[in-house]
């Protein structure tokens, strides 16, 4: 058997990922300490490329995944770098993300590993 194959779009794009547990904490602090009517960016403030995220997941499995570019998944107007600024949220509520991207991916991998083993 060969390596597992996935069809991908542009893995070079960088996005600002945030664990849902950190998002929920941010929302709670906005409700408790935020100013009514204000807009707060809930984000990490740093980027991770999709390729780096996939490589991190490969490291956890110990298996390489063959990637095949699927032109149907490429977006001609895709933004290469999307990173938010959570400065106002941090300053006004004291919030900061507590779960690293690495831990988020580990937890995600573990969840699916257990779900598949359990027949979900």
**Res 120 pLDDT > 70:** no
Whole-number average pLDDT of the chain: 95
Name the pLDDT band for 118 (thresholds 50, 70, 90): confident
pLDDT at 97 over 90: yes
Calculate what percentage of the chain has a pLDDT beyond 70: 98
pLDDT band at 11 (very low <50, low <70, confident <90, very high): very high
pLDDT for res 2: 62
pLDDT score of 119: 73
Query: Looking at the predicted structure, is the pLDDT value of residue 87 above 90?
Result: yes
pTM of the model: 0.86
As given in the structure block, the two tokens for residue 83 are 């990173």
Query: Cα 23–24–30 angle (5° rounding)?
Result: 90
Q: What is the pLDDT of residue 54?
A: 95
Q: Which helix (H) or strand (E) holds 110?
A: helix 101-117
Q: Which CATH superfamily is domain 5-117 in?
A: UDP-galactose 4-epimerase, domain 1 (3.90.25.10)
Distance CA(27)–CA(34), nearest Å, equals: 9
The single residue listed with the structure tokens 């298996």 is 63
Buried b (16+ CB within 10 A) or exposed e, 4-29: eeeebeeeebbbbbbbeebeebbeeb
């Amino acid at each position: 058997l060969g390596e597992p194959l996935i069809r991908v779009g542009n893995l070079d794009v960088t996005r600002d990922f945030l664990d849902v547990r950190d998002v929920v904490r941010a929302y709670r602090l906005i409700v408790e300490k935020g100013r009514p009517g204000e807009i707060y960016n809930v984000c990490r403030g740093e980027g991770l490329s999709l390729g780096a995220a996939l490589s991190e997941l490969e490291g956890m499995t110990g298996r390489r995944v063959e990637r095949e570019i699927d032109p149907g998944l490429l977006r001609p107007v895709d933004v290469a770098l999307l990173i938010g600024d959570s400065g106002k949220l941090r300053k006004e509520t004291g919030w900061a993300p507590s779960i690293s991207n690495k831990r988020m991916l580990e937890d995600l991998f573990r969840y699916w590993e257990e779900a598949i083993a359990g027949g979900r």
